[in-house]
Amino acid sequence: MAELNVSLCGISLDNPIIPASGTFGFGYEFAELYDINILGTFSFKGTTRDPRFGNPTPRIAECTAGMINAVGLQNPGVEQVIERELPKLKTCFSKKVMANVSGFSVEDYAYAVEKLDMCDQIGWFEVNVSCPNVHGGGMSFGTSPEAAAEVTRAVRAVTKKPILIKLSPNVSDIVSIAKACEDAGADGISLINTLLGMRIDLKTKKPVIANKMGGFSGPAIFPVAVRMVYQVAHAVNIPVVGMGGVASAEDVLEMMLAGATAVEVGAANLVDPYACKKIIEELPAAMAKYGIASLEEIIKGVK
């Protein structure tokens, strides 16, 4: 029988499948469709210190083998997440959840993490220093080792829970940034976030989305994600959560062979809300097909 269980930063997961932040809301929306307790865990909607309406519309554009989004971290703010969203999640999800946090200053990150740290439901923090869709925050912290390390140190100071730093692929040297985060106290690395993309409407002669550019995700970016996961996993001594264009059980195995301990599924959830459920159900057969008895053995073999 295939062994799907893995351990992420000391917390056991029944399987490595994690819906990515921004594609799964706060979980309870998907719980109307299926029992989300089958998931390893999930990363909830990116949360900031203050409420955000996000970017102007239109902010979604389809493209070949993917999509571009510039939602802009729309969320109700950390206080409302604690008071309203997490209690609703508790009614349908019994496992530890991953809290995705973003900010526009180092203090913003620390504030949100410190507030959420008090919530027993939260098992890990996924600190997003890589969002390409906001101005003055997000990716500006993830494009230099020094800035990423500064955010890491600030959140490390306010929580003892595992911290995973979510990195941007829109850099020339992903390894140096990952190592700087590890040195600053990160317990893991998540990557990749979206690439920066753009579409132009031939009829209007203008960009399709109001923000002009946005995050490019979907199957087209999978090879880039595998490459960066491989590079980082072989350079750091902390777990890597891989993501970027994952859409099948085979993709999960490939990402884990590149060095990922767990795998996030993003854009696929927006195409098919049952995507993660199907991947979990198909993993045992895919493992058998390729002679893999245990996912932990892949992890140990790569490391």
Identify residue 215 by its one-letter amino acid code: G
pLDDT band at 303 (very low <50, low <70, confident <90, very high): low
DSSP 8-state code for residue 38: G
Give residue-wise pLDDT tens across range 264-277.
999 999 999 999 99
Backbone φ and ψ for 226, nearest 5 degrees, come out as: -60, -45
Q: Residue 194: which domain range?
A: 6-302
Strand, coil or helix: 198: coil
DSSP 8-state code for residue 75: B
Is 181 considered catalytic here? no
By residue count, the chain amounts to: 303
Is 135's pLDDT higher than 50?
A: no
Residue 157, token pair as written in the block: 């100071």
Residue 97, token pair as written in the block: 């959840």
In a domain, 203, yes or no: yes
Is 126's pLDDT higher than 70?
A: yes
The pLDDT of 95-103, averaged and rounded, is 97
Of 60 and 141, the one with more pLDDT: 60
> So what's the pLDDT on residue 233?
97
pLDDT band at 133 (very low <50, low <70, confident <90, very high): very low
Selecting among 9, 131, 181, 276, the annotated active-site residue is 131
For residues 144, 145, 150, 155, the Cα torsion angle rounded to the nearest 10 degrees is: 110
> What is the DSSP pairing of strand 66-69 with strand 97-101?
unpaired
CA 245 to chain CA centroid, Å, is 12
Is 136's pLDDT higher than 60?
A: no
Give residue-wise pLDDT tens across range 218-270.
999 999 999 999 999 999 999 999 999 999 999 999 999 999 999 999 999 99
The pLDDT of 192-196, averaged and rounded, is 94
Backbone φ and ψ for 242, nearest 5 degrees, come out as: -95, 145
222-233 vs 249-257: helix axis angle to the nearest 10? 30
Residue of 181, 112, 191 lying closest to 150 (CA atoms): 181
pLDDT band at 140 (very low <50, low <70, confident <90, very high): low
Residue of 220, 129, 210, 116 lying closest to 170 (CA atoms): 129
* C-alpha span between 248 and 270 (Å, rounded): 14
pLDDT > 90: percent of the chain: 89
In a domain, 51, yes or no: yes
> What is the DSSP pairing of strand 240-242 with strand 262-265?
parallel
In a domain, 1, yes or no: no
The pLDDT of 89-117, averaged and rounded, is 96
**Number of domains the chain contains:** 1
Is 144's pLDDT higher than 90?
A: no
Bridge partners, residue 242, by sequence:
191, 263
Query: What's the CATH code of the domain at 64?
Result: 3.20.20.70
Residue 259, token pair as written in the block: 């060095």
Q: What average pLDDT is seen over the chain?
A: 94
